[in-house]
Amino acid sequence: MKYSCFKYPSPLGILTVVFTKRGIHRITFSNNAKNNNISKDIYIRESDHLIYKKIFCELNKYFTGKLREFEVPVVLEGTKFQKSVWQELIKVPYGESMTYGEIAKAIGSPKAARAVGNANNKNKLPIIIPCHRIIGSSGNLTGYAGGLDRKKWLINHEKKYRKDVVYG
């Protein structure tokens, strides 16, 4: 399968977005300064142009606090268990958090908190599938493939733009 790819300049650094007309397949954070050349590695097939515009628009709206739920289609590639975890993550409301244990209970595997953490780690669609909203049972931020600084930023960003929060 041939993929399209573009680099998105987010407040968290450059995101590399890989997609087809079926949906987004992968988003990765660039941690290497020499990989932050936005014009490099951009390839958008003509058949994927419409979804490219939708992805780019939704990312813009998310990072400016104007989008709470992504509508762009996603292509989930993983085990049945991982997919069940990721589907549950999508249900965690914008600006809120849940624990790994709560997700495990929600998918009917109450003793699988560690496995939920492993599924989070395999999530290829950070931000879109909001694994950053999942925290440890103590309330502490734990593990995030993009780094804990990015996880903290995403949580604070969503709390800042939640409609039910009033800032004085």
Return the active site residues.
131
Contact 27, 127 (CB under 8 A): yes
Long-range contacts of 84-93 (CB under 8 A, 24+ apart): 85/116, 85/119, 85/120, 86/119, 86/123, 86/125, 86/129, 86/131, 89/120, 89/123, 89/129, 89/130, 89/131, 89/133, 89/134, 90/129, 90/130, 92/130, 92/133, 92/134
